[in-house]
Amino acid sequence: MVRRKKTRLERFFSLNQHRKRWGGGRHVAGDGDLAAMRDRIVEAGEAVQTRGSEKSLDRHLENLRREFSGQPELVFHHARLIVLIRREVRLADGLARFGTLWDEEGDFLCRHLNLRWLISAADTLADHDPDAGVRAVAMMTGLLANTVKIYESERYITGAATLAPEPGRIDKLQTDLVPLFEGMSVFTVGTDDTLRNMFWRLEPFFATPRAGRILKTVYDRMQAEDTAFARLRALHRRDRTAWWDETES
C-alpha cells in the first residue's frame, strides 16, 4: 500500500517540518528587478549539483547557490522560490511570486533551466496552481519526465545501454504484430504513427498558461537527449509520421 501523504495539519505539528523552515523569513524578500537578475551571474566557485535536502534551510540554500554558480541569478532565484514553497515558508506569498515569475520570465526560464528544474517547476504547479487545467498539464509534464527517468534508470542498471538495435527485429516489426501485454504491441520502428498522433494531441496543451511552455520544452528536449524518443527518431524513415518539431532540432 502506498503510504499516504501527511495532511497540512500533521505537517504543521511536525517538529521536522519546523526545523526545515527555521530561519526562512530572512530568505523571503521582494523579487526586485527581474531583468537585472537575468544579467547578473552567480559567483560561488565551482558548480556542484545538490543531492538530497539539508535539514538546515540556510545550508541547503547555500549549497543550491553553488549549484547555480556561473548561471544567471534569475534561475537561482527560481530554485530558491521552489525550496521556500516546498518548506511552506510564507506559502501564499511564495506561490504568488512563483506565478508572477513564470508569467513574466517563462521564456527565459525555459531557455536556461535544465530538465531537473523544469520538472521541479512543473511539480510545483501540479501541487499548487489554483487552475485545474494548469495543474493537469503540469502533471502531464511530470509523468512524461518521470517515465523517461524510470526506464532510462532500468536501462542503466541492467547494462542495456551497451546493446545495439537488431536489424532482424526491426524488419520483423514491419510485417508482424509483436505483443507486449494487455493488448499493447511493440512500436513499429521506422514508420509507426503512435508518437506523431500523441504529439498532435499534446499540441493544444502547449498553450496552457505557465505549464504549457514547460511541457513543450521538456517534450522537445526528450527528443534531443539520449532517450528512447531520440533513439527511435534516429531509426525513423517516414516523414509524415515524425513526432518531433523540426524547428526545435
Domain map (residue ranges) of the chain? 8-113, 139-248
Residues of the chain scoring pLDDT < 70: 1-5, 8-31, 51-55, 249
C-alpha cell at 179: 505483443
Tens of pLDDT, residues 163-195: 999 999 999 999 999 999 999 999 999 999 999
The contacts found for 104-108 with CB under 8 angstroms, 24 or more apart, are 104/34, 105/34, 105/38, 105/74, 106/210, 106/213, 107/213, 108/38, 108/72, 108/74
- Residue 54 is predicted with a pLDDT of 55
Q: What is the pLDDT of residue 19?
A: 52
Beta carbons of 223 and 229 less than 8 angstroms apart: yes
- Three-state secondary-structure class, residue 179: strand
Which pLDDT score is estimated for 18?
Answer: 46
Helical segments of the chain, H only: 8-12, 15-21, 34-39, 57-67, 73-86, 91-112, 115-128, 132-157, 167-173, 194-202, 211-224, 228-235
Q: What is the DSSP letter of 6?
A: P
List CB contacts of 159: < 8 A, sequence separation 6 or more: none
Q: Is 14 helix (H, G, I), strand (E, B) or coil?
A: coil
Q: What are phi and psi of 72, to 5 degrees?
A: -60, 140
**Is this model's pTM higher than 0.75 or not?**
yes
Please work out, in degrees rounded to the nearest 5, the angle formed at the alpha carbon of residue 85 by the alpha carbons of 82 and 91. 150
